[in-house]
Amino acid sequence: MGEAADAGLLAVRLVLGAVMAAHGWNHWRGGGGITGTAGWFAGLGLTRPRLQAWLSVLTELGAGALLVAGLFTPLACAAVLSVMLVAGLLAHRPNGFFVFREGYEYVLVLGVLALALGAWGPGRYALDTAADIAVTGWAGAGVVLGVGAVATAGLLAAFWRPRRTT
């Protein structure tokens, strides 16, 4: 792939991983902590909001750490995609596109970046590559899209109960 491309993939993994870890940390320790995050999730129509808050924290911290290490990259990217799909569908879609209006612009960029990273692979500077377990190309993108979509659908089917407006 080349030195510059590998350095670019490392930068993408590090930034996306750090962003996800920061989100997980914020849901856990920032602002209202788990209680505040659970309240926000309840407002989105998710049942068992405290469980959802902890699952979000673990998913975001875990995916972030895996991306930074370049380990199980397609699964880490699938976790990012799923989190972004849930956030986009439940919290941001009603507000339109632009992030400055609480729209889905930001989560769309992170989700597409996760899907693209699944296709590109983790690059040379990754544990996946060192262990010779890197999955790239259509297979990597397929894992990200398939696992991310199934995880999102499963979460929504099991835990989302939108409020009915009368």
What is the distance between the alpha carbons of residues 83 and 90, in angstroms, rounded to a whole number? 11
What is the distance between the alpha carbons of residues 148 and 64, in angstroms, rounded to a whole number? 15
In sequence order, the 6+-apart residues with CB closer than 8 A to the CB of 65 are: 17, 21
For the chain, 166 residues long, give each residue's pLDDT as a single digit of tens.
689 999 999 999 999 999 999 999 999 999 899 999 999 999 999 999 999 999 999 999 999 999 999 999 999 999 999 999 999 999 999 999 999 999 999 999 999 999 999 999 999 999 999 999 999 999 999 999 999 999 999 999 999 998 776 6
Cα 131 to chain centroid, rounded:
24
- C-alpha count within 13 angstroms, C-beta hemisphere, residue 49: 16
Cα 130 to chain centroid, rounded:
24
Query: At CA 120, angle to CA 115 and CA 124, rounded to 5?
Result: 135
Of 73, 84, 89, the residue nearest 108 (C-alpha): 84
Please report the pLDDT score of residue 166 as a whole number.
Answer: 62
Please state whether the predicted TM-score (pTM) of the whole model is above 0.85: yes
What is the distance between the alpha carbons of residues 156 and 159, in angstroms, rounded to a whole number? 5
